[in-house]
């Protein structure tokens, strides 16, 4: 429990300013706590210049009794009015984990006009869907999304929360974990339950996939993980699956946001985005000319993939910086990566080494990209790519 | 404008090797650099100071040698370097790290802007920025690709880059931003800057200076624990495709068909 020492409190309002839940406010010269909203995160305790606030130990420890938290949650993600593919994949994994734990799967969906997605979430494996539907959640911002999910988790005490390691998940999920004072593992590629203590074994790549670390969160709940797109398998949807859809009521305080969205631009030209693509055709300096990019775009289109780039190719202005793969760009792990004229500088390698199959095409047999390639072709991109396009077209026609 | 830039000293990817037997990083021969994204955060801070005036403080948590990262930042032009270093801080996960950083920033008094890189290249978690903002009770925006200050000198207009496009956002300071490499081009240190950095005093704060409890910092304050590490085997299937370009393409198509990708 958060306690206010009335003698020490100077009603300065610092606690009110820092509280993300508006759970504490100064009334009649004293800080007053709204216990329904307070998550015991302790931000105000640290901020109070008078040391007037204290979290009483009994409850702080009680909140961390891992045995009393049950159920697997998936924080689903919308793209406009449709479900992000990673959310379906997470539901598939959540079902598997929940079966091992003899627990249920709950999906949480936030947004405006998202209620129709409830049925789809059930079809993909949710037993229950919590719908947080509000105009204030129409555009994604970290504060209300994080506050709503944290407050639902605080009330319902799930043992696991999974979210997509997308730009959105990687942005607001750390807020949720901090508000709940629990552990969070980013970018997981493997998840399993350890039978004896219900611990979630969370495996994630570090150093661009050169090292795989398995992480647990033994003493805190919920156990939280963001999961890379594509890694988990969605179940085939079953439209007859039964489940419960619950519209949650949202306290206004949870919807406070200090960031205004002026404009939201979707740059979806065609095909998937880099982070979610199953196939990525990457342009390196070795494609030589911007004009040669047309082949790569065509190859990506044929394979239903996206086009990526090395730093050299984006610096040359051939592709936008958002296509850049590597240490200072995006880390990708598609099923198939085709490097065209990519030499394989370590800064690039660490961003793509998690790919399942790596095809490298380069004139230079000494290029380091061949060290990480599943299949290497020493040859001229200008010759090999058009041949490959024609060959794949023929394959499709037959 | 009072700005704090949080930086991290990380191993230079070019010098990193792995021990496949033990499934660990080989520590010998690793050179340390400022996390590449953080250089862009420093540049953003210095750029804002150039226009708005004020003060830029670089802060890092790490072992004593992490002060080298702060000296590099000082050489680039930051006004002050603060090293958070204490044996008790070792083994911190992101939750314990944000707890420590928040206490240190609070000790500096009111700050207008906290800047971080998008993520560190050794951990790739991208969790410290958002977590720190929560602890400081300020709003944050991640993955900032463009940034402008409006006339009131308090409002920022930002481009947040997302997986499928971008958002244009506005917020008022105090705030925390995590920045992309595309935001700017970091300046290079001047000779004068390097000289100054050599002589500059780096403030060192430990657990006691920050008044922190042992159970909330370092390993003790970290809910997550690494239970094992291993090196994935990427190179087992490596095959150079022989023959003419036609033959190479033929083999490749066959392999991709076998893998169910065509």
User: Are B228 and A167 an interchain contact pair (Cβ–Cβ within 8 Å)?
Assistant: no
Pairs across A and B, CB distance < 8 A = 257
| Average pLDDT of the residues of chain A | 91
For residue A61, pLDDT over 70 is answered with no
Distance CA A145, CA A136 (A): 10
**Are the beta carbons of A243 and A128 closer than 8 angstroms?**
yes
Nearest residue on chain B to A335, judged by CA atoms?
B261
Q: Kindly state the tokens that stand for A346.
A: 């370590």
Chain B stretch 122-141, residues whose beta carbon is closer than 8 A to a beta carbon of chain A = 122-127, 129-131, 133-137, 139-141
pLDDT number for residue B22: 79
Distance CA A342, CA A237 (A): 39
Q: A279-397, what's its fold? A: Rossmann fold (3.40.50)
Nearest to B227 among A140, A215, A219 (CB): A215
Sheet order of strands, A190-194 included: A190-194, A199-206, A211-216, B225-230
Same domain, B182 and B127: yes
Nearest residue on chain A to B105, judged by CA atoms?
A47
The range of the structural domain enclosing residue B236 comes to 232-262
Mutate to test the interface with B, among A328, A390, A391 (most CBs of B within 10 A): A328
Q: Please give the tally of structural domains in chain B.
A: 2
Distance CA A315, CA A268 (A): 22
Nearest to A207 among B122, B141, B171 (CB): B122
pLDDT number for residue A86: 94
Same domain, B236 and B178: no
Same domain, B149 and B174: yes
pLDDT number for residue A270: 58
Element (H, E) at A152: helix A142-156
* % of chain A with per-residue pLDDT over 70: 96
B243 domain-assigned: yes
Same domain, B120 and B241: no
For residue A226, pLDDT over 80 is answered with yes
CB within 8 Å of B21: residues ≥ 6 apart: none
Same domain, B174 and B262: no
pLDDT digits (tens, 9 = 90+) for A133-170: 999 999 999 999 999 999 999 999 999 999 999 999 99
**Are the beta carbons of A133 and A111 closer than 8 angstroms?**
yes
Distance CA B146, CA B156 (A): 10
- The CATH number for B168's domain is 3.40.50.620
Report the relative pairing of strands A279-283 and A336-340 from DSSP bridges. Answer: parallel
pLDDT number for residue A275: 79
Element (H, E) at B206: none
Q: Kindly state the tokens that stand for B62.
A: 């790490």
Is pLDDT larger for residue A65 or for residue B70? B70
Distance CA A13, CA A32 (A): 11
B226 domain-assigned: no
pLDDT digits (tens, 9 = 90+) for A70-87: 999 999 999 878 899 999
pLDDT number for residue A63: 53
What is the biggest distance separating any 2 CA atoms in chain A, rounded to whole angstroms? Answer: 84
Sheet order of strands, A184-188 included: A184-188, A223-227, A160-164, A72-75, A105-111, A128-133, A244-247
Length of chain A equals 398
- The DSSP 8-state label assigned to residue A324 in this structure reads B
Q: In this structure, which CATH number among 3.50.50.60, 3.40.50.2000, 2.60.40.420, 3.30.70.20 belongs to the domain A2-62?
A: 3.30.70.20
* Residue A159 DSSP SS3: coil
Tally Cβ neighbours within 10 Å of residue B68.
18
Same domain, B142 and B202: yes
Give the residue among B59, B109, B105 at the shortest CA–CA distance from B84: B59
Distance CA A181, CA A198 (A): 19
Distance from CA of B238 to the nearest CA of A (A): 4
Is pLDDT larger for residue A304 or for residue A230? A304
pTM: 0.86
User: Are A387 and B125 an interchain contact pair (Cβ–Cβ within 8 Å)?
Assistant: no
Distance CA A177, CA A336 (A): 33
pLDDT number for residue B234: 56
User: Are B167 and A265 an interchain contact pair (Cβ–Cβ within 8 Å)?
Assistant: yes
Same domain, B214 and B248: no
pLDDT digits (tens, 9 = 90+) for A281-296: 999 999 999 999 999 9
Q: Kindly state the tokens that stand for A316.
A: 């040359």
Tally Cβ neighbours within 10 Å of residue A1.
15
Establish if B212 touches chain A: CB-CB under 8 angstroms.
no
Chain A stretch 27-56, residues whose beta carbon is closer than 8 A to a beta carbon of chain B = 41, 43, 46-47
B45 domain-assigned: yes
User: Are A260 and B16 an interchain contact pair (Cβ–Cβ within 8 Å)?
Assistant: no
The owner of tokens 């005490």 is A157
DSSP states of A164-221 as a string? E-STTHHHHHHHHHHHTT--EEEEESEEEEEGGGTEEEEEEEEGGGTEEEEEE--SSS
Report the relative pairing of strands B55-61 and A82-83 from DSSP bridges. Answer: unpaired
**Are the beta carbons of A208 and A349 closer than 8 angstroms?**
yes
Same domain, B100 and B212: yes
Distance from CA of B199 to the nearest CA of A (A): 31
DSSP states of B22-64 as a string? TTEEE-TTPPEEE-HHHHHHHHHHHHHHHHH--EEEEEEESSG
Q: How far is CA A138 from CA A75, A112, A131, A132, B43, in A?
A: 16, 5, 13, 11, 34
Sheet order of strands, B239-240 included: A306-309, A279-283, A336-340, A357-362, A375-378, B239-240
Q: Kindly state the tokens that stand for B208.
A: 């006691």
Domain A66-253 in CATH 3.40.50.620: yes
Nearest to A392 among B165, B182, B253 (CB): B253
Give the residue among A299, A302, A330 at the shortest CA–CA distance from A314: A330
Q: How far is CA A16 from CA A12, A28, A36, A291, B106, in A?
A: 9, 14, 15, 58, 16
pLDDT per position in chain B (262 positions), as tens? 999 999 999 988 888 887 777 777 787 888 999 999 999 999 999 999 999 999 999 999 999 999 999 999 999 999 999 999 999 999 999 999 999 999 999 999 999 999 999 999 888 899 999 999 999 999 999 999 999 999 999 999 999 999 888 999 999 999 999 999 999 999 999 999 999 999 999 999 999 999 998 999 999 999 999 999 887 765 556 899 999 999 999 999 999 999 888 8
Write down the domain spans for chain A. 2-62, 66-253, 279-397
**Are the beta carbons of A73 and A158 closer than 8 angstroms?**
yes
Bridge partners of A344, per DSSP, are none
Same domain, B114 and B198: yes
**Are the beta carbons of A284 and A339 closer than 8 angstroms?**
yes
- Least confident range from A147-161, A198-212, A228-242, A281-295: namely A198-212
- The DSSP 8-state label assigned to residue A330 in this structure reads B
Q: List chain A residues with CB under 8 Å of B228.
A: 213-214
A2-62 and A279-397 agree in CATH topology: no
Element (H, E) at B259: none
Distance CA A144, CA A140 (A): 8
Element (H, E) at B204: strand B203-205
For residue A111, pLDDT over 80 is answered with yes
Same domain, B179 and B200: yes
The owner of tokens 């958060």 is A2
* % of chain A with per-residue pLDDT over 90: 67
Distance from CA of B91 to the nearest CA of A (A): 13
CB within 8 Å of A286: residues ≥ 6 apart: A340, A341, A342, A343, A362, A363, A364, A381
pLDDT number for residue A392: 95
Same domain, B58 and B148: yes
What is the biggest distance separating any 2 CA atoms in chain B, rounded to whole angstroms? Answer: 70
Distance CA A235, CA A93 (A): 9
B133 domain-assigned: yes
B94 domain-assigned: yes
Same domain, B45 and B106: yes
């Amino acid at each position: 429990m958060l306690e206010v020492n009335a003698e020490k409190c100077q009603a300065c309002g610092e606690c009110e300013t820092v509280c993300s839940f508006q759970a504490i406010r100064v009334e009649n010269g004293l800080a007053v706590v709204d216990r329904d909203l307070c998550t015991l995160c302790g931000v105000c305790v640290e901020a109070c210049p008078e040391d007037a606030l204290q979290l009483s130990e009994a409850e702080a420890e009680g909140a961390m009794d891992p045995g009393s938290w049950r159920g697997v949650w998936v924080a689903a993600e919308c793209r406009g009015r449709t479900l992000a593919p990673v959310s379906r994949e997470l539901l598939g994994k959540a079902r598997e984990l929940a079966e091992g734990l003899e627990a249920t799967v709950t999906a949480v969906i936030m947004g405006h006009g998202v209620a129709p997605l409830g049925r789809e979430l059930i079809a993909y494996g949710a037993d229950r869907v919590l719908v947080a539907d509000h105009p204030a959640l129409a555009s994604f911002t970290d504060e209300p999304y994080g506050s709503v999910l944290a407050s639902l988790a605080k009330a319902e005490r799930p043992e696991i929360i999974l979210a997509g390691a997308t730009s959105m998940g990687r942005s607001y999920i750390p807020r949720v974990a901090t508000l709940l004072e629990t552990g969070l593992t980013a970018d997981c590629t493997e998840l399993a339950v350890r039978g004896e203590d219900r611990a979630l074994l969370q495996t994630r790549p570090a150093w661009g996939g050169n090292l795989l670390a398995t992480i647990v969160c033994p003493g805190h709940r919920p156990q939280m993980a963001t999961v890379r797109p594509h890694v988990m398998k969605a179940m085939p949807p079953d439209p007859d699956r039964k489940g419960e859809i619950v519209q949650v009521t949202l306290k206004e305080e949870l919807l406070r946001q200090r960031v205004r969205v002026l404009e939201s631009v979707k740059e979806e030209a065609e095909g998937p985005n880099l982070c979610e693509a199953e196939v990525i055709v990457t342009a390196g300096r070795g494609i030589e000319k911007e004009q040669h990019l047309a082949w790569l775009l065509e190859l990506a289109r044929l394979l239903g993939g996206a086009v990526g780039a090395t730093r050299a190719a984006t610096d040359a202005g051939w592709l936008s910086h958002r296509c850049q793969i590597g240490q200072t760009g995006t880390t990708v792990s598609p099923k198939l990566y085709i490097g065209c004229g990519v030499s394989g500088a370590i800064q690039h390698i660490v961003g793509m080494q998690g790919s399942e199959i790596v095809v490298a095409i380069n004139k230079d047999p000494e290029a380091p990209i061949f060290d990480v390639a599943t299949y290497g072709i020493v040859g001229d991109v200008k010759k090999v790519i058009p041949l490959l396009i024609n060959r794949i077209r023929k394959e499709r026609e037959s | 404008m009072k700005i704090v830039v949080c930086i991290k000293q990380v191993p230079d990817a070019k010098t990193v090797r792995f021990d496949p037997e033990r499934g660990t990083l080989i520590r010998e021969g690793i050179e340390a650099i400022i996390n590449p994204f953080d250089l862009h955060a420093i540049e953003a801070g210095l750029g804002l100071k150039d226009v708005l005036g004020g003060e830029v403080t670089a802060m890092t948590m790490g072992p004593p040698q992490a002060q080298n990262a702060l000296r590099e930042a000082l050489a680039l032009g930051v006004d002050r370097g603060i090293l958070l270093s204490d044996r008790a801080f070792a083994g911190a996960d992101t939750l314990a790290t944000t707890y420590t950083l928040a206490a240190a920033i609070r000790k500096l008094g009111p700050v207008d802007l906290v800047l971080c890189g998008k993520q560190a290249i050794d951990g790739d978690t991208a969790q410290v920025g958002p977590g720190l903002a929560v602890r400081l009770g300020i709003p944050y925006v991640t993955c900032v690709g463009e940034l402008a200050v409006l006339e009131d000198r308090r409002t920022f207009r930002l481009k947040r880059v997302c997986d499928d496009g971008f958002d244009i956002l506005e917020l008022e300071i105090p705030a925390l931003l995590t920045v992309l490499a595309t935001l700017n081009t970091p300046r290079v240190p001047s000779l004068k800057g390097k000289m100054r950095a050599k002589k500059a005093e780096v403030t060192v704060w430990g657990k006691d200076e920050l008044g922190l409890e042992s159970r909330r910092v370092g390993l003790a304050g970290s809910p997550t624990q690494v239970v094992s590490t291993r090196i994935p085997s990427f190179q087992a299937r490596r095959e150079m495709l022989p023959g003419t370009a036609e033959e190479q393409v033929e083999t490749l198509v066959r392999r991709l068909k076998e893998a169910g990708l065509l």
